[in-house]
Structure 1
């Protein structure tokens, strides 16, 4: 288990990440968000305009901190990677204060909403423009191109900063933990395909919504793919021993897991099992899973 570092954290401070990027940490730490959600302001420090990526939770102090980081520039776009409640709820109040359009991922309304351990979806999210894979937003000295990466959520996007080779990865690839994939919207097959898509790219660095910058992104992504395949192999081995409910996988697969994270682990195993079922390798009846 990853330990959250001791305080103080740079909550509310505009940190220089690279010449075109500032980072502002939101005041929403938790076992699922690490020290909090990281909002990014992209644009020349003394230029006329900028974009805001993942405005975060609707917390007045955080919105004030974003406005301070904008430093008088025109906000051309408020861009959301996905619509979990720690990422997009500040979009509307920030748009009201800046006049900027909300741009990025599509809105998402689930037909069913199973109990979930991660941040739930933001039903208030209403974009002015949805970016498709490969579409871009441009400002003075900066270009942000959408990279569709479904899996963590079906509407997840990353944003590539073309001028510097940086990729803003939201929750798809994070600097502190693997991403949680939670059905019914999260899809393990899509998630693995999105990781393979990033592995084929040549981004210089990843800036995620939680945790430190990722300086060796392809190495990390390769490791994440290996980790997920290892989990799948564990599940298949356990199914080979005996049919079992999801809860019976956790003690064998997650040693010393914080009890608060057990629901997330169960959802992750469920996502793997659903993917295996789609591939004809497992099935379930009455809550009990078995191999084929």
Structure 2
């Protein structure tokens, strides 16, 4: 029988803000202001975190993950820019999902700022397609482009000069991220977790939920262990007789609210694809079996 012991989440002992209590605007460090979008949900937690990044006194800032094209959110971002006495000089996007990217092109046009992303469709006409290892000298500071595919194929993170990493949906402030299917890739996701771990981040600024500053490496270790745990759970469920994706989700995610089961099914399908490639399971449409 596969080992199905759940790893301990180090954040359980941290003094993190309660769900729903994140402030609309917060100064995380001299380089970074976080502005919370008003789009809370089971998937987005408190809402999408939009980040303003720039050296104090530079008069400039980069907007990272503008989020939904919402008038109230735009007003909050413009207020935060004014508080920094800064104008937006670029819009960076971690990945194409609408809760991160919807406002990118309209806000880029409003601010007269170039949009940059790994996906040309997100960057838009006149935008910049970002590649691995680029160093963006913007707003009096430098942001390193870190490829983190897995959640989506086009996912990026941005490393700051302070050592913090803006991780988008690669790591969440609470819970774990979804590996989307069919474009998500568990093997790529695990490699990306290790890549961010190797950076030795001083903090993880997540796309949703609170910032993680106490022990970022421990959270990344937990994420790696959690993915191994899910694999073990799926194999154990197959041993018990589950034979379809729906049956596996109902068994493995029994304690998770049903509203989140569609997202769980995406991660399950992505994990099964990895296990099938390794020869541990056999797939036939929605049917799953052991070899």
- Shorter-chain TM-score bucket reads 0.7 to 0.9
User: Which structure 2 residue ranges, 5 or more long, are not aligned?
Assistant: 1-11
| C-alpha distance in 2 between matches for 1:154 and 1:268 | 14
| C-alpha distance in 2 between matches for 1:51 and 1:287 | 44
| C-alpha distance in 1 between matches for 2:43 and 2:207 | 11
- Please point out which of 54, 68, 79 is paired with 1:43: 54
Contact 1:243/1:291 (<8 A) preserved: no
- 1:63 matches 2:62: no
| C-alpha distance in 1 between matches for 2:48 and 2:35 | 8
Alpha-carbon shift at residue 49 of structure 1 (Å): 1.3
Most deviating of 38-47 and 144-153: 38-47
| C-alpha distance in 2 between matches for 1:6 and 1:244 | 36
What SS is found at the alignment partner of 1:87?
A: helix
User: Which structure 1 residue ranges, 5 or more long, are not aligned?
Assistant: 109-123
| C-alpha distance in 2 between matches for 1:75 and 1:62 | 15
In structure 2, the partner of 1:95 is 108
Contact 2:204/2:216 (<8 A) preserved: yes
> Cα RMSD (Å) of the superposition?
1.9
- 1:203 matches 2:201: yes
In structure 2, the partner of 1:255 is 254
Q: Summarize the Cα distance change of 1:227–1:193 in structure 2 as closer, same or farther, 3 Å threshold.
A: same
Deviations 1:166-205 (A, max 9, x none): 1000000111120011211111111111112122221111
In structure 2, the partner of 1:187 is 185
In structure 1, the partner of 2:5 is none
In structure 1, the partner of 2:4 is none
In structure 2, the partner of 1:121 is none
In structure 2, the partner of 1:111 is none
Q: Summarize the Cα distance change of 1:77–1:140 in structure 2 as closer, same or farther, 3 Å threshold.
A: closer
| C-alpha distance in 1 between matches for 2:19 and 2:216 | 26
- 1:144 matches 2:143: yes
- How many residues of Structure 1 are paired with residues of Structure 2 in the alignment? 272
Deviations 1:108-140 (A, max 9, x none): 6xxxxxxxxxxxxxxx66261011111021134
Contact 2:93/2:116 (<8 A) preserved: yes
| C-alpha distance in 2 between matches for 1:290 and 1:16 | 50
Alpha-carbon shift at residue 235 of structure 1 (Å): 1.2
| C-alpha distance in 1 between matches for 2:22 and 2:217 | 28
Most deviating of 262-271 and 18-27: 262-271
Contact 1:24/1:40 (<8 A) preserved: yes
Contact 2:238/2:248 (<8 A) preserved: no
In structure 1, the partner of 2:164 is 166
- 1:73 matches 2:86: yes
| C-alpha distance in 2 between matches for 1:140 and 1:55 | 17
In structure 2, the partner of 1:27 is 38
